Amino acid sequence: MNETIIRVLIADDHPIVRDGLRGMFAGDPRFEVVGEAADGVEAVALARALEPAVVLMDLRMPRMDGVAAIKRLGELGLTTSVLVLTTYDTDSEVLPAIEAGATGYLLKDAPSAELMRAVEAAARGDAVLSPAVAMRLMGRLREPESPLSARELEVLRLIATGGTNREIAGRLFISEATVKTHVLHLYTKLDVNDRAAAVAVGYQRGLLD
């Protein structure tokens, strides 16, 4: 039975990483490395020319970073799946990559067998996330989205404890006038007209414990 060989493009600005990945795939007949790119611009150009099933995409690269390259591939309408392979799992790295259209997100410390399975899954169009990244995304989904700034949230919490503007100013080491400005802003954002309503909406939206 002939299985379709998965064509892979490696995009990483470190030659040692590219060499290691190419060597790993070279020993497995299920895969063929069809090209290598040292930055996002090359990755997009080679993906257009070679039409690989999967692009292994690093995020931090010169000229064009991984997220911009992922967006560009989506704009071009290519059917290539992008599997991010990086050392970073922070929100500032993970979320933009997923939002840009990455099929999966793995960390470079993943075992080779896990990476192989992830590439196979990405070639099928299945979403693949490393456990650490999956936990991070789940945590973000559980967090209530706050329309308030960090300072406005502090003011709202102190309002909820019954603090006056003067008391809040003293607690936060800001002027009473600044407190009034924050209060007006949070009224507008929560669509309320008084302190009691602001606290009620704060609890309703999960902004207050």
Burial zone of 192 (CB within 10 Å; 0-12 exposed, 13-18 middle, 19+ buried): middle
DSSP letters for 36-103: EESSHHHHHHHHHHH--SEEEE-SS-SSS-HHHHHHHHHHTT---EEEEEES--SHHHHHHHHHHT-S
pLDDT at 1: 39
Give the residue, 83 or 150, on which the prediction is more confident. 83
Is residue 2 very low, low, confident or very high in pLDDT (cuts 50, 70, 90)?
A: very low
Q: Which DSSP symbol is given to 159? A: H
* Average pLDDT of the residues of the chain: 88
Q: What is the average pLDDT across 96-115?
A: 88
Nearest to 52 by CA among 22, 21, 3, 7: 7
Domains along the sequence of the chain with CATH: 6-142 (3.40.50.2300), 150-204 (1.10.10.10)
Give the residue, 140 or 171, on which the prediction is more confident. 171
Taking the C-alpha atoms of residue 63 and residue 48, their distance in angstroms, rounded to an integer, is 18
Token duo for residue 60: 């931090």
Is residue 139 very low, low, confident or very high in pLDDT (cuts 50, 70, 90)?
A: low
pLDDT at 100: 86
